[in-house]
Amino acid sequence: MTTSSAVPVVDLGPGWTQVEQNVTPNHVQQVVERQSTRVTVMLERAVTGVFREAFPSGEHDLRLAVDPVPDPDGLFDLLSSFAQQFSTLDPECRRLIYAAPEGDLASIATAERAGFRYVVDVEVVTGSYSLMVVEPAWVTAVDMDLDRVPQT
């Protein structure tokens, strides 16, 4: 399945040096280094990847993968960069998903510190994961006028 809009490229900031980049319509894969740590970061359309059937996702939703998971400070920097930029780079994106390995409490805590919230544990062919999401304000806003149907 292909989508109508390309996956945005996120600026990872001055602390990371990009070694390699691979861009397709459905994903952007960046190999980056900081100090002596080399990490592959992939941003993909959630409806095209391994998690596509694990949870409901929209055409513009994005999933972030980091491999190998760096130290907590490095992971925090990467997740924060994506969390701060994704909705600006793709205004139609409703959520950015990060799949932390299930039971990896350090990664889950780091994702929460970067602005993500825990949603659900899922099992896919590659393993078990705790899905963490960050959503723009327009998605999480609540209309307290309960006597009116939203968007009418």
The arithmetic mean of pLDDT across residues 64-88, rounded, is 91
Candidates 40, 3, 44; CA nearest to 23 is: 44
Please report, for the chain, the start and end positions of each structural domain, with discontinuous segments joined by +.
17-140
pLDDT at 112: 97
Higher pLDDT, 53 or 107: 107
Whole-number pLDDT of residue 106: 95
User: pLDDT value at position 38?
Assistant: 94
Q: How far is Cα of residue 82 from the mean position of the Cα atoms in its chain? A: 7
Among 36, 91, 88, 39, which residue's Cα sits nearest to residue 64? 39
CATH class of 17-140: alpha beta
Is the pLDDT at 100 greater than 90? The verdict is: yes
Reported confidence tier of residue 140, pLDDT bands at 50, 70, 90:
low
